[in-house]
């Protein structure tokens, strides 16, 4: 699939790309709104071009770049596979995390979304250290138990599990290198254990509080045995 910029600057594409929008999260069409001029491309002959799109669902701008395949007298051919600059960010229920943990894990997700896998691993270590401090005693064993459980559930091999353990719990300066595949698994582990340690308990406590509040506001609907029998107290 290709895209073209014609001599009259007209942009032609067989179909607008459909991708998850980093702003609204919808799988929406990227409608072209800003494309390079034909004359500029023929003069400068770049290897890549920048393209401006608009999300068909929310109208927010989306940016991409495409490879220049060929330049002829009538048109410039671009690769149809547009690489989006701003990609959808990984989501998490940050509300329930302590502020320090929230800030660190948010940065970890920024690294992950930007394909900075080793930076992501380093931020995961910092997130775990902060999370342990904010957990009731003994926080470290809660993390390690939840980690061991998810390794077992995920049937993660021993070598990978050892690498993750080194990344998350080793306090020395050394840090193993992480590739994209390991990073994706580590992300799921982080989400699961943070959920277990912080979100689950906070959500449960909030739900209990609401239930109690609701129950206190209701008049008693329980008919006593005596009233049911029509008896009166002496």
* Alpha helix stretches (DSSP H) within 14-138: 38-44, 99-113, 117-134
How far, in Å, CA of 56 to CA of 11, rounded? 17
β-pairing, 61-71 vs 11-13, is unpaired
Q: Which is nearer to Zn ion, 23 or 134 (CB)?
A: 23
Q: Which is nearer to Zn ion, 57 or 71 (CB)?
A: 57
Nearest distance, CB of residue 25 and Zn ion, angstroms: 7
179-218 binders of Zn ion (CB under 5 A): none
Q: Is 165 in the site for Zn ion (CB under 5 A)?
A: no
Q: Is 33 in the site for Zn ion (CB under 5 A)?
A: no
Number of Cβ within 10 Å of residue 197's Cβ equals 23
The residue from 58, 162, 208, 210 that contacts Zn ion (CB under 5 A) is: 58
37-56 binders of Zn ion (CB under 5 A): 55
Phi then psi for residue 230, to 5 deg, are: 75, 20
Q: Is 21 in the site for Zn ion (CB under 5 A)?
A: yes
Nearest distance, CB of residue 223 and Zn ion, angstroms: 55
The residue from 16, 42, 57, 119 that contacts Zn ion (CB under 5 A) is: 57
Q: Which residues pair with 152 in a beta bridge?
A: none
Kindly determine how many residues on this chain lie close enough to bind Zn ion according to the rule CB under 5 A: 6
Q: Is 30 in the site for Zn ion (CB under 5 A)?
A: no
Q: Which is nearer to Zn ion, 58 or 206 (CB)?
A: 58
Nearest distance, CB of residue 83 and Zn ion, angstroms: 18
Q: Which residues pair with 4 in a beta bridge?
A: 12, 77
SS3 13: strand
Block residue for tokens 């060929």: 70
Nearest distance, CB of residue 102 and Zn ion, angstroms: 24
Block residue for tokens 């999370």: 131
Return the ∠ at Cα 30 (arms to 26 and 36), rounded to 5°: 155
Q: Which is nearer to Zn ion, 84 or 147 (CB)?
A: 84
Q: Is the peptide bond before 138 cis (omega within 30 degrees of 0)?
A: yes
Q: Is 68 in the site for Zn ion (CB under 5 A)?
A: no
Q: Which is nearer to Zn ion, 58 or 184 (CB)?
A: 58
Q: Work out the angle between the directed axes of helices 139-153 and 158-169 (0-180°, nearest 10).
A: 160
Tokens of 97: 């995390």
Sign of the C-alpha dihedral computed for residues 24, 29, 33 and 39 taken in this order? positive
Q: Which is nearer to Zn ion, 57 or 156 (CB)?
A: 57
Q: Which is nearer to Zn ion, 91 or 221 (CB)?
A: 91
The residue from 23, 87, 126, 165 that contacts Zn ion (CB under 5 A) is: 23
**Contact footprint for Zn ion (CB under 5 A):** 21, 23-24, 55, 57-58
């Amino acid at each position: 699939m290709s895209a073209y910029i014609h001599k009259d600057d007209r942009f032609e594409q067989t179909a607008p790309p459909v991708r998850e929008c980093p702003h609204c999260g919808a799988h929406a069409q990227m409608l072209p709104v800003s494309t390079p001029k034909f004359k500029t491309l023929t003069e400068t002959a770049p290897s890549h071009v920048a393209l401006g799109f608009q999300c068909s669902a929310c109208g927010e701008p989306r940016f991409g770049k495409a490879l220049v395949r060929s330049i002829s007298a009538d048109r410039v051919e671009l690769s149809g596979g547009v690489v989006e600059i701003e990609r959808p960010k990984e989501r998490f229920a940050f509300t329930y995390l302590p502020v320090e943990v929230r800030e660190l894990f948010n940065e970890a997700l920024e690294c992950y979304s930007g394909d900075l896998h080793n930076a992501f691993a380093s931020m995961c270590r910092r997130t775990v250290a902060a999370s342990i401090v904010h957990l009731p005693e003994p926080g470290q064993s809660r993390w390690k138990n939840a980690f061991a459980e998810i390794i077992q559930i995920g049937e993660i091999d021993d070598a990978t599990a050892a690498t993750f353990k080194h990344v998350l719990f080793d306090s020395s300066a050394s840090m193993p290198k992480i590739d994209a595949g390991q990073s994706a698994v580590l992300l799921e582990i982080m989400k699961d254990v943070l959920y277990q340690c912080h979100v689950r308990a906070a959500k449960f406590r909030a739900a209990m509080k609401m239930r109690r509040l609701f129950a206190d506001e209701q008049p008693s609907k329980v008919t006593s045995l005596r009233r049911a029998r029509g008896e009166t107290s002496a």
